[in-house]
Amino acid sequence: MRFIPTRIHGAIDYLTGLALIMAPFVLGFADNGPAQWVPMILGAAILVMSLMTDYELSLARLIPMRAHLGVDAAGGLLLAASPWLFGFADQVFWPHLIIGVFEIAVALTTNTVPDTADVGVGRDYGR
């Protein structure tokens, strides 16, 4: 069931990207290891991808919404599993797990078609 509008998803993207970049410093696990760099790299990737996605809060509108949501879900899975994949679960895992699961949930519940007519002008979204 998809009920999150793409405009809201865009706002969530920018907030999540910034939160992932700041989390290691705010939550005290900025140790220059994978616990720090995995969320920071994913946060930066979310911001860049958001600027290029075909939705209301984008600049370039190059990435289709369905592809964006797939990458979001994959990134969320990587983030959620990263403490165990990269061996830092004994140090910290809750922020990675919670935000990762949140990213997956948002990806699975966001509309795949932007709500406004000005997004993707000239594109046929199958309406």
How confident is the model over 65-123, as pLDDT tens digits?
Answer: 999 999 999 999 999 999 999 999 999 999 999 999 999 999 999 999 987 655 455 45
How confident is the model over 20-62, as pLDDT tens digits?
Answer: 999 999 999 999 999 999 999 999 999 999 999 999 999 999 9
115 is written with which tokens? Answer: 């709500």
Q: List b or e across 46-64, with b for residues whose CB sees 16 or more CB atoms inside 10 angstroms.
A: bbebbbebbbbbbeebebb
Parse the chain into domains and list their residue ranges: 6-109
Q: Say what the pTM is.
A: 0.89
Rg (CA), the chain: 15
Cβ pair 26, 35 in contact under 8 A: no
- Sequence-ordered alpha helix ranges (H) in 1-127: 6-26, 34-51, 65-85, 94-109
